Structure 1
């Protein structure tokens, strides 16, 4: 302990006091050689003599009495788990300062700081200042439609594995990508300074970005159009289906959502009429999250569009096309882990939730 490199400094000093005492030195001499007070030397010699090595450790201390009881902390956590409107407070969401103020108003505590409330909520991972949106499943054929999409991601169709000459394409449109001309140049990041983008801008128009993503090859085909619609979408299909290996493939499955440019049976028939080896597969209503191209669009939003600073629409299009080439050079397929088993678990949880709250079941039936 006296010479160990990993021994705490205070334990090392106390161990040296014991070693000096073992050599027969007086307390006064030990105090001079170690730089400690005489009473400190006497204390650690006495403790070691009584209990040995455990006596060199600090004793348990009671510390300052707690300022708040566990009941007070629990009541504030319970308050955070209620909607403010239900308690008569004109707020949309709780914040820590507002919770602290409300706790004092209700007499839960005479005073409590926002930092104390934040620490209590962190213990249970409560974050009432955040919110997430959700939506009921309204498509009566949700499971069979979702199952078809998930099976295609697993390279199966109607219970049979896909062949080497069969491909899965995920397609959609990213609408209204604006060209915002900043009134002052964007400043590059510097030491202890983030990149600075001027808030004021001039509008340079907007375009739509259509993309088709090969799910298993991680290859993107994109094009920029002035607007979305049937004709722009079919141009994207022609762009993909006119190239190999899709032109000579046995089947090419096109996974799309229920957007107006590719909705319903007419869109599927139109696709098959133009390209007999193309099969359109729709995701369920309100389930665009099953479409993998949305993941690619999120990458585009983070790496290309934000922060929006373009001189004109031509620069937007050039940036998007250049990013496609860069992405295709290094991209790997997304690690899609949501399977049909996960789908069954999700639907079972929703059914239990609706069974517990019959008013939501009636609302869903009305919708």
Structure 2
């Protein structure tokens, strides 16, 4: 019988360049690398038998990929789509599992606070949704819709009835405006608060520096060296921090911070200095406003809404202090804590830039509108549930 001739292979310059890159690339998977070698040998006019001997592949394998390339070009070197094993679970079963994951366990009388994949798998079998299912299968289904019922985030509804008014004043100050009028050059905005109970924890064994394939190691046991409060005033537009350490928080420590700032220029001779503070006991209510005005007539106290300290930019600075100065908290005594905080202030003031605050009054209105819609939907669902 006549022997079938091998398919002739002719490569363009672009194809040859691409095939060589695939054949000798370090990241090319092995099977694709061997297929490209077959094509490159075939392009040199070699027979299938010779290619099989030189590559160590079976003759049928050489014949297959030579023919695939001759018919389809470069795309022919990829594996064809396969039907795979028939699905074990129906689309309805998958949807029911996802729906179950989107309900709190308490709603189904299950004594759990949150679902985990093994617990969901057991509940699916208990509810006869499926005869059996593994936790990894449930995890794969949830991953398709980015569902992670084992995670949780805390949140709080707006409780301050004057939230819009108070928050918008602060947003305007960040944008250098007050009562619709732009601030003058000799008017400043200070964001102030206290970081309470910074402890001095003296570890019972020295902290070990990080090494190759090893994180920094901090001994778990420690001796308490006391605690202090760190008060800070942050100039929003100049990115300058004024801080002080006190034994505790209170009216007097806060007024000490105010005096520290207001007794130096440019704040002492400024037209107005706006002090943004939260509703902590050290500076709460009208009494705190009057106290500040009596001490410094050019100071204006502006309170954040209740439970809305996130509108106060000094909280961002405190988060930096927590990450870069306090954690993992290995101090011999409180003096070391004070020295570290003072040194960090100098370091921060030397290079800091104002925070890029992007939350505006328009964003505030959008947030309140979303919350109103959410509240209305929740009330409607509650009414339907009661009626049922």
TM-score, with normalisation over the residues of structure 1?
0.90
Shift of 1:129: 1.6
Aligned to 1:226: 247
Structure 1 residues 2, 239: closer, same or farther in 2, change over 3 A? same
Shift of 1:303: 1.1
User: After superposition, what is the alpha-carbon deviation per residue over 1:127-173, rounded to whole angstroms, capped at 9, x for unaligned?
Assistant: 21221112222211111111100000000011110111110000011
Aligned to 2:373: 352
Match runs of 1:323-338 below 5 Å: 323-338=344-359
8 Å contact from structure 1 (residues 2, 12) kept in 2 = no
2:242 and 2:78 mapped to 1: Cα distance?
Answer: 68
Shift of 1:47: 5.0
After the TM superposition, which of the residue ranges 219-228 and 353-362 deviates more from structure 2?
353-362
Match runs of 1:212-361 below 5 Å: 212-358=233-379
Q: Secondary structure at the match of 2:232?
A: strand
8 Å contact from structure 2 (residues 229, 245) kept in 1 = yes
Structure 1 residues 359, 234: closer, same or farther in 2, change over 3 A? farther
Aligned to 1:114: 135
Q: Secondary structure at the match of 1:5?
A: helix
2:60 and 2:68 mapped to 1: Cα distance?
Answer: 12
Residue 162 of structure 2 is aligned to residue 147 of structure 1: no
Unmatched tracts of structure 1, length 5 or more = 363-367
Cα RMSD, aligned residues only: 2.3
Shift of 1:190: 2.0
Aligned to 2:60: 39
8 Å contact from structure 1 (residues 354, 361) kept in 2 = no
1:241 and 1:361 mapped to 2: Cα distance?
Answer: 53
Residue 43 of structure 2 is aligned to residue 19 of structure 1: yes
Shift of 1:246: 0.6
Shift of 1:99: 1.9
User: After superposition, what is the alpha-carbon deviation per residue over 1:236-288, rounded to whole angstroms, capped at 9, x for unaligned?
Assistant: 00000011111111110000011111111111111111111100011111111
2:81 to 41, 44, 60: 60
1:69 and 1:294 mapped to 2: Cα distance?
Answer: 50
After the TM superposition, which of the residue ranges 203-212 and 154-163 deviates more from structure 2?
203-212
Shift of 1:90: 1.2
Q: Secondary structure at the match of 1:354?
A: helix
Aligned to 2:227: 206
User: After superposition, what is the alpha-carbon deviation per residue over 1:339-361, rounded to whole angstroms, capped at 9, x for unaligned?
Assistant: 00011011111111111122899
TM-score, with normalisation over the residues of structure 2?
0.85
Shift of 1:44: 4.2
